[in-house]
Structure 1
Amino acid sequence: MAEDTKPFVFEGYGYEDLELAIMHFEKDYGFTYANDAFTNVKSIAELIDVICAPISKENKEDCTSQQAFYKLKSVLHKYSEEAVITPSSQLEKLIKRKNRIATIRSIENELGFELKVLKPTAELSLFLWLVFLGTVVSVFISMYFAMLIGFIWLLSYWIIYSNAKEFKVETVGELVKQMVMNNYFKSRRDPNTINEQEFRKMVISFIADLVGLTEEELLEAQFG
């Protein structure tokens, strides 16, 4: 007989993770919630209701992912030599590494929002973590030394991420999913409309990803 798994309970640091997730959502979507907006929330369902409450757009039951794909596809055709672009198309093949940074910026300008799809190599990411760790350790040695190491880390971070050329996702379909998650309304054909049921599911996925739970675990989670 399979063991019954207990639902996740938000308490302590779990609440902090949830608050940070809501703050990320506020920042990405430009929403502002009152300080007491979540005071009487007693379940995840009620939490999602409060998060979605500020939205007042015409409801249309159409597919945002499909609209986002065709919007992205039409722009990609301008910057890629590939004749056929599908959700399974590899981004590495569509956008060559040589001019990748400039090409992504041009695509973002046409879409009207940042894709945030590029990252540094694993080696450079490791270098940044080591420098950051050095900053933390140096605090216990000398504050001036820590400030120097910290400055080096900030400068290195800016240079490395400004010149990042690795893709965070592999396919066009994965990029479309990221577009919809971070720029739902701008990904739609008409940004003044919303598919309410679809958007609610997107919010659940957004919060679940940031707190490190599956969507099912989040929906079954309880407050301590």
Structure 2
Amino acid sequence: MDTNLVETNIESEDLLEHVELQDISDAIITIQESFQISFQGDELANVKIFQDLCNLIQEKIKLEDHDDCTSQQAYYKLNQALSHTFNLSKLDLSPETLIENIIPRKNRIRKVKMLEDILDMQLFLLSPPVWLTCVLILVFFLSLLAFFFDGTIAVSGIAFSLLGLRIAHKMGKEIDIKTVGELTDNMVSYNYIKSRRDPNTVNRRELDHVIKSIFIKLFLLSPSALHKEAKFSEY
């Protein structure tokens, strides 16, 4: 047996333990928004493994169970919204259609906002150029080092980098998602309830898979890192 392969598999299955606690908190916020639930008090205190979280979410959702496909419903909603926003025929769209070919760069921010308003959900579709984000992050860390030399320069640099990042993300025009199919998948992950035809229902057979997809998207984990017994960080 290949020893290196065994070590790689072990490392990938332990990746969930390596996710920072603050990042887990961000995932919880995403889950609450997607499933329109809220965790109260110490409800999460006994969540030690991934299946504990899935079970808790299943318990928190009190909606009627319907055995239908949310991805199909999300695709239909997205298809309609894209057709309306960009004056397209529904026949011109397929899961393989490139988002870049649908949304022209000119007026892209305004058009995406129109699309989000029709769908009543945030799509996380646009971002600033990678080089700009990297430069602003570099300025931030250099500003931290500047505290050893000049506090005023350090504070100014931190304020500039944080403000720059905020503006860059609001004004970013780069499309992160390649195809209509990928955008549909994101809708289901980040806006599960709103993606359904009837928002008063869920398909409980889908829920664990959707929760897993949220963690995979947020933390770039491999599916093997999210087996039922995968442990959360204790730190």
- The interval holding the TM-score normalised by the smaller chain is 0.7 to 0.9
Question: Which residues of structure 1 form unaligned runs of 5+?
Answer: none
Partner of 1:133: 141
Q: Are residue 53 (structure 1) and residue 62 (structure 2) matched?
A: no
Shift of 1:120: 1.0
Return the match for 1:38 from 35, 44, 54: 44
Q: Are residue 160 (structure 1) and residue 168 (structure 2) matched?
A: yes
**Larger fraction in helix:** 2
User: TM-score of the superposition, structure 2-length normalised?
Assistant: 0.83
1:135-186, CA deviations, whole angstroms, 9 ceiling, x for partnerless residues?
2222332332222112211332233222211101111111111111110000
Shift of 1:82: 4.5
Question: Which residues of structure 2 form unaligned runs of 5+?
Answer: none
Partner of 1:105: 113
The 2-side partners of 1:96 and 1:15 are apart by: 37
Query: Does the 8 Å CA contact 1:101/1:163 hold for their aligned counterparts?
Result: yes
The 1-side partners of 2:69 and 2:178 are apart by: 22
The 2-side partners of 1:28 and 1:148 are apart by: 37
Alpha-carbon spacing, 1:177–1:10, altered in 2? closer, same or farther (3 Å): closer
Runs of 4+ more than 6 Å apart: none
Counterpart residue identity of residue 26, structure 1:
Q
User: TM-score of the superposition, structure 1-length normalised?
Assistant: 0.87
The 2-side partners of 1:134 and 1:29 are apart by: 40
Alpha-carbon spacing, 1:143–1:51, altered in 2? closer, same or farther (3 Å): farther
The 2-side partners of 1:29 and 1:44 are apart by: 17
- Pairing 1:1-224 to 2, within 5 Å after superposition: 1-3=1-3, 4=6, 5-6=9-10, 7-8=13-14, 14=19, 16=21, 17-26=23-32, 29-80=35-86, 82-83=88-89, 84-219=92-227, 220-222=229-231
The 2-side partners of 1:138 and 1:199 are apart by: 47
Is 126-135 or 207-216 further displaced after alignment? 207-216
Alignment size in residue pairs:
223
Q: In structure 1, the residue corresponding to 2:215 is in which secondary structure?
A: helix
Alpha-carbon spacing, 1:212–1:74, altered in 2? closer, same or farther (3 Å): closer
Q: In structure 1, the residue corresponding to 2:60 is in which secondary structure?
A: coil
Alpha-carbon spacing, 1:143–1:209, altered in 2? closer, same or farther (3 Å): same
Shift of 1:29: 4.6
Query: Does the 8 Å CA contact 1:18/1:211 hold for their aligned counterparts?
Result: no
What is the Cα-based RMSD across aligned positions, in Å? Answer: 2.4
The alignment-based identity, stated in percent, is 34
The 2-side partners of 1:132 and 1:52 are apart by: 41
Query: Does the 8 Å CA contact 1:181/1:202 hold for their aligned counterparts?
Result: yes
